[in-house]
Amino acid sequence: AQTVTQSQPEMSVQEAETVTLSCTYDTSESNYYLFWYKQPPSRQMILVIRQEAYKQQNATENRFSVNFQKAAKSFSLKISDSQLGDTAMYFCAFRNRDDKIIFGKGTRLHILP
Protein backbone atom coordinates (compact mmCIF):
# COMPACT_ATOMS: atom_id res chain seq x y z
CA ALA A 1 0.00 0.00 0.00
CA GLN A 2 1.15 3.49 -0.75
CA THR A 3 1.91 5.70 2.24
CA VAL A 4 2.94 9.31 2.66
CA THR A 5 4.85 10.40 5.75
CA GLN A 6 5.41 13.93 6.97
CA SER A 7 7.67 13.75 9.99
CA GLN A 8 7.33 17.37 11.12
CA PRO A 9 3.93 18.02 12.72
CA GLU A 10 4.72 21.68 13.32
CA MET A 11 7.40 24.23 12.38
CA SER A 12 8.04 27.91 13.01
CA VAL A 13 10.39 30.25 11.15
CA GLN A 14 10.99 33.95 11.03
CA GLU A 15 9.65 35.96 8.14
CA ALA A 16 12.08 36.12 5.15
CA GLU A 17 13.85 32.93 6.19
CA THR A 18 13.95 29.76 4.16
CA VAL A 19 12.15 26.68 5.44
CA THR A 20 12.10 23.09 4.23
CA LEU A 21 9.22 20.71 4.86
CA SER A 22 10.01 17.03 4.53
CA CYS A 23 7.96 14.26 2.98
CA THR A 24 8.69 10.63 2.25
CA TYR A 25 6.49 8.12 0.52
CA ASP A 26 6.37 4.46 -0.23
CA THR A 27 5.32 2.90 -3.52
CA SER A 28 6.32 0.17 -5.90
CA GLU A 29 5.12 2.18 -8.88
CA SER A 30 7.55 3.82 -11.25
CA ASN A 31 5.28 6.50 -12.64
CA TYR A 32 3.32 8.77 -10.32
CA TYR A 33 2.77 12.37 -9.34
CA LEU A 34 3.66 14.19 -6.15
CA PHE A 35 2.06 17.35 -4.82
CA TRP A 36 2.24 19.86 -2.06
CA TYR A 37 -1.05 21.41 -1.02
CA LYS A 38 -1.46 24.41 1.25
CA GLN A 39 -4.41 24.68 3.59
CA PRO A 40 -4.75 28.16 5.14
CA PRO A 41 -7.08 28.84 8.08
CA SER A 42 -9.96 29.07 5.61
CA ARG A 43 -9.35 25.30 5.13
CA GLN A 44 -9.43 25.53 1.36
CA MET A 45 -6.98 23.18 -0.38
CA ILE A 46 -4.60 25.07 -2.65
CA LEU A 47 -2.13 23.37 -4.96
CA VAL A 48 1.35 24.76 -4.33
CA ILE A 49 3.52 22.66 -6.60
CA ARG A 50 3.53 19.32 -8.41
CA GLN A 51 6.17 16.95 -9.69
CA GLU A 52 6.03 14.14 -12.20
CA ALA A 53 8.09 11.16 -11.09
CA TYR A 54 9.54 10.60 -14.54
CA LYS A 55 11.03 14.11 -14.62
CA GLN A 56 14.40 14.41 -12.98
CA GLN A 57 14.31 18.18 -12.87
CA ASN A 58 12.95 19.55 -9.62
CA ALA A 59 9.76 21.60 -9.97
CA THR A 60 9.88 25.28 -9.10
CA GLU A 61 7.05 27.74 -8.65
CA ASN A 62 8.23 31.23 -7.68
CA ARG A 63 9.39 31.01 -4.03
CA PHE A 64 8.45 27.33 -3.81
CA SER A 65 10.70 24.54 -4.98
CA VAL A 66 11.02 20.85 -4.34
CA ASN A 67 13.90 18.48 -3.80
CA PHE A 68 12.74 15.27 -5.40
CA GLN A 69 14.91 12.24 -4.67
CA LYS A 70 13.23 9.34 -6.43
CA ALA A 71 15.55 6.61 -5.24
CA ALA A 72 15.14 7.75 -1.65
CA LYS A 73 11.40 8.36 -2.16
CA SER A 74 11.76 11.81 -0.72
CA PHE A 75 9.91 14.95 -1.79
CA SER A 76 10.69 18.00 0.31
CA LEU A 77 9.27 21.49 -0.15
CA LYS A 78 11.46 24.55 0.20
CA ILE A 79 9.90 27.93 0.77
CA SER A 80 12.30 30.81 0.19
CA ASP A 81 11.87 34.32 1.55
CA SER A 82 8.94 33.14 3.66
CA GLN A 83 6.01 35.50 4.11
CA LEU A 84 3.34 35.82 6.78
CA GLY A 85 0.79 34.59 4.24
CA ASP A 86 2.63 31.31 4.02
CA THR A 87 1.33 30.41 7.47
CA ALA A 88 -0.83 27.33 6.85
CA MET A 89 -1.05 23.57 7.04
CA TYR A 90 0.96 21.91 4.27
CA PHE A 91 0.08 18.48 2.95
CA CYS A 92 2.29 16.29 0.87
CA ALA A 93 0.33 14.04 -1.49
CA PHE A 94 0.93 11.15 -3.86
CA ARG A 95 -1.02 10.03 -6.86
CA ASN A 96 -0.60 7.07 -9.19
CA ARG A 97 -2.78 5.17 -11.61
CA ASP A 98 -4.90 3.82 -8.75
CA ASP A 99 -7.07 6.86 -9.26
CA LYS A 100 -6.83 8.52 -5.87
CA ILE A 101 -4.57 10.90 -4.04
CA ILE A 102 -3.10 9.90 -0.71
CA PHE A 103 -2.23 12.68 1.71
CA GLY A 104 0.30 12.85 4.51
CA LYS A 105 -0.78 14.01 7.96
CA GLY A 106 0.38 17.54 7.32
CA THR A 107 2.89 20.01 8.70
CA ARG A 108 1.62 23.12 10.42
CA LEU A 109 3.88 26.02 9.42
CA HIS A 110 3.99 29.28 11.35
CA ILE A 111 5.75 32.28 9.84
CA LEU A 112 6.68 34.66 12.64
CA PRO A 113 6.93 38.44 12.14
Residues at the contact surface with another protein, assessed by CB under 8 A: 33, 35, 37, 42-47, 50, 52, 91, 95, 97-106
Q: From the CB of 113, what's the least distance to another protein, in Å?
A: 24
Residue number with CB closer to another protein (35 or 75): 35
14/62 with CB nearer another protein: 62
Rounded to the nearest whole angstrom, what is the least distance from the CB of residue 102 to another protein in the complex? 7
- Decide whether 29 or 81 has the Cβ nearer to another protein: 29
Pseudo-torsion of CA 79, 80, 86, 88, nearest 10°? 20
Decide if 6 contacts 105 (C-beta within 8 A). Answer: yes
Residue 81: CB minimum distance to another protein, A: 24
CB-nearer residue toward another protein: 3 or 18: 3
Smallest separation (angstroms) from another protein to the CB of 50? 6
- CB contact set of 104 (below 8 Å; sequence gap of 6+): 4, 5, 6, 23, 91, 92, 93
Over the Cα atoms of the chain, what is R_g?
13
Q: Which residues contact 30 (CB under 8 A, 6 or more apart)?
A: 53, 54
What's the one-letter identity of residue 79? I
